[in-house]
Chain A
Amino acid sequence: MSYTSFSYLLFFLGITYVLYTLFPKKYKYIVLLCMSYLFYIVSSSWLIVFIVLTTFIIYFSAIWIDKINSIFIDVKKNLNRDEKKNLKNKLLWQKKAVVCVMLFFCLGALIFLKYYNLFSEILNFVIFQHIHLELPYLKLLLPLGISFYTLQAISYVIDVYRGKYKADYCLPRVALYLVFFPTIVEGPIGRYDEYAYQLYEGHSFHYENLTFGCQLILWGLFKKLVIADRANLFVNVVFKSPQDYAGFAVIFSIIFYTIQIYTEFSGCMDIVRGSAQIFSVHLPQNFKQPFFSKSINEFWQRWHMTLGTWLRDYVFYSVSLSQPFKKFNQLVKNHCNGYLSKLLPATTALFFVWICNGLWHGASIKYIVYGMYYYVLMVLGMFLEPVFIKVMKIFHIHKETQYFRVFQIIRTCILVNIGMLIFRAKDLTTAWNMFLSCFRDFSLQPLSSYGLRLSDLLMIVCGVVIVFIVGVLKEKGVSIRETIAKRNIVLRWTVYFAALFIVIILGAYGRGYDAVSFIYAQF
């Protein structure tokens, strides 16, 4: 079910909100839980068993880890130092075993359902065709939001394992943490300590949260319906038969796709965060004006931030602070010079992050290359840093000047656009051919040949300008919703009604605009 649909906005959000407000404080969580499961069943029917099983698995494995911890605390006082150490080690292995079992089931379900066909294809190609065996192709259904809730599930158990917080004995809270209906389809990927408690405790009617939440939803709808779905018309035309286009057409289609995916994904996040806010639940931000980034590194700290921090905390640090990795570090240090020994560990750990990032986005070689593309850019940046510094010294370029910053931003945007091309193109060959075709045949054709009217184009441009201005204001730390809220009621309501009817009338939905589902929902 799409977050821009009537059934979501009216039925799910509206009715859930009314019920939530009417229920007594103690039982409000039941409304959220029931509606979330209903949402899941309506969208995914029997596949709900997967998320329910995951809930039980993480609930019990976290409690199990807690039990192991308490054994240690109970007997700790009666032991001497060596015995303590032995016991601690023994228990550590037990805890590790529990985590592994949890990972086996949670991650296993994700890997099997999402990646089985990719892996079987690779295996068939590499090994099995030589020994006359073939893994069959399976038609697997993917449970709604499995890529998102699995990450949440893992982070909960690992945090308990690491001792960041204790296991939660309240099953409905754990269940709600995984299945909360606004976040189930596209994240953001929340953390247990940050938002499970907010979800569970009942919040009474809160005027500011309700109105601010609705405004955020409206802003998200604007980005998705007015800009993204309109840009999609043009993007689809070119990407459907890329061999027919070259030069400006291809360049613009890539830029428009970048616009589309940004306004769509961040618009969806606004709808999601707004939806949560009307229940007085504050979700983490997923986007922080990514197109003002000065480097690829910074871009990924501002784009899909909850995925980035998840990979940092549970892949990057897990790898880089593990025992085998320590040994590897030692080895590098003994055999390589300072330059290499400083960079090699970091780049090795990053490799795992980016392979996960690529694979997470989809089960095909294309997405692995997408991850590797950013990995190579980052590694190159790190290894060539001394060169850059030298070059800048020679040409007397100062890092802090305005021009240089603008240059950096544009450079980052271009690199990101190439990444988006890999992301959107049908396959790698297509992406490569489209990339090459950007550099030839710069003839201009009438707009209509791309399925785009002048009014549509103007609307996209105006929309992007508005998003840009809002972005600049946000960068300057201006809170737009609060600024508007301070104005008098006539002005304020004029703005709200104008926005509402701009979305309703100028939105690219319904007849003439094929329903475009959110790009990220399929992951």
Chain B
Amino acid sequence: MEELLDILKDMKPGVQFENEANLIDDGILDSLDVMNLSVILNDEYDIEITPLDIIPENFKSIESIYALITRLQED
């Protein structure tokens, strides 16, 4: 979780990711950010995020992103 937060803060400085529950709908992350983030996460966690996983629900908050990573690692 800490590591993920670092990645996010590195990508988008100045956003309080801990308190945001609607990253996509509020326009904090756009499709470019999501793509960049997926590429980084694939690298860091050795997972494979597919286009199917890219839905707003998976990226709406730091918790949901973390949940996605855990799910993919188990697969």
Question: In the complex, is A directly touching B at CB under 8 Å?
Answer: yes
Using a CB–CB distance below 8 Å, which chain A residues touch chain B?
A: 162-164, 297, 301, 312-314, 316-318, 320-321, 326, 329, 342, 345-346, 349-350, 382
A-side contacts of B51, CB under 8 Å? 162, 313-314, 317-318, 321
Give 19 A-B pairs besides A320-B39, A321-B54, A349-B35 with Cβ atoms closer than 8 angstroms.
A162-B52, A163-B52, A164-B52, A301-B30, A313-B51, A313-B54, A316-B31, A317-B35, A317-B51, A318-B51, A321-B38, A321-B42, A321-B50, A321-B51, A329-B43, A345-B35, A346-B35, A346-B36, A382-B32
CB distance from A416 to the nearest CB of B (A): 19
Beta-carbon contact of A345 and B31 below 8 Å: no
Interface residues in B32-58 (C-beta closer than 8 Å to A): 32, 35-36, 38-39, 42-43, 49-52, 54
Q: How far is the CA of A20 from the CA of B56 in the complex (A)?
A: 36
Interface size on B, residues (CB 8 A): 14
B-side contacts of A345, CB under 8 Å? 35-36, 39
Which partner residue on chain B sits nearest A162 by CB separation?
A: B52
Interface residues in B6-43 (C-beta closer than 8 Å to A): 30-32, 35-36, 38-39, 42-43
Q: How far is the CA of A208 from the CA of B52 in the complex (A)?
A: 36
Given A326-B42, A329-B39, A345-B39, A321–B49 Cβ distance below 8 Å? yes
B-side contacts of A326, CB under 8 Å? 39, 42
Q: How far is the CA of A329 from the CA of B39 in the complex (A)?
A: 8
- What are 22 A-B residue pairs whose CB atoms fall within 8 Å in the complex? A162-B50, A162-B52, A163-B52, A164-B52, A312-B31, A316-B31, A316-B35, A317-B35, A317-B51, A320-B38, A320-B39, A321-B38, A321-B39, A321-B51, A321-B54, A326-B39, A326-B42, A345-B35, A345-B39, A346-B32, A346-B36, A349-B35
Q: How far is the CA of A316 from the CA of B32 in the complex (A)?
A: 9
CB distance from B75 to the nearest CB of A (A): 11
Q: How far is the CA of A349 from the CA of B43 in the complex (A)?
A: 18
Q: How far is the CA of A232 from the CA of B2 in the complex (A)?
A: 58
A-side contacts of B36, CB under 8 Å? 342, 345-346
Q: How far is the CA of A320 from the CA of B31 in the complex (A)?
A: 11
A-side contacts of B38, CB under 8 Å? 320-321
A-side contacts of B54, CB under 8 Å? 313, 317, 321
Beta-carbon contact of A297 and B30 below 8 Å: yes
A-side contacts of B39, CB under 8 Å? 320-321, 326, 329, 345
Q: How far is the CA of A329 from the CA of B38 in the complex (A)?
A: 12
Which partner residue on chain B sits nearest A301 by CB separation?
A: B30
Which partner residue on chain B sits nearest A330 by CB separation?
A: B43
Q: How far is the CA of A330 from the CA of B49 in the complex (A)?
A: 16
Q: How far is the CA of A301 from the CA of B35 in the complex (A)?
A: 16
Q: How far is the CA of A163 from the CA of B35 in the complex (A)?
A: 20
Q: How far is the CA of A345 from the CA of B42 in the complex (A)?
A: 14
- 9 cross-chain pairs, A with B, having the tightest CB-CB distances, nearest first: A317-B51, A162-B52, A320-B35, A346-B32, A312-B31, A317-B54, A321-B51, A329-B39, A164-B52
Q: How far is the CA of A312 from the CA of B24 in the complex (A)?
A: 14
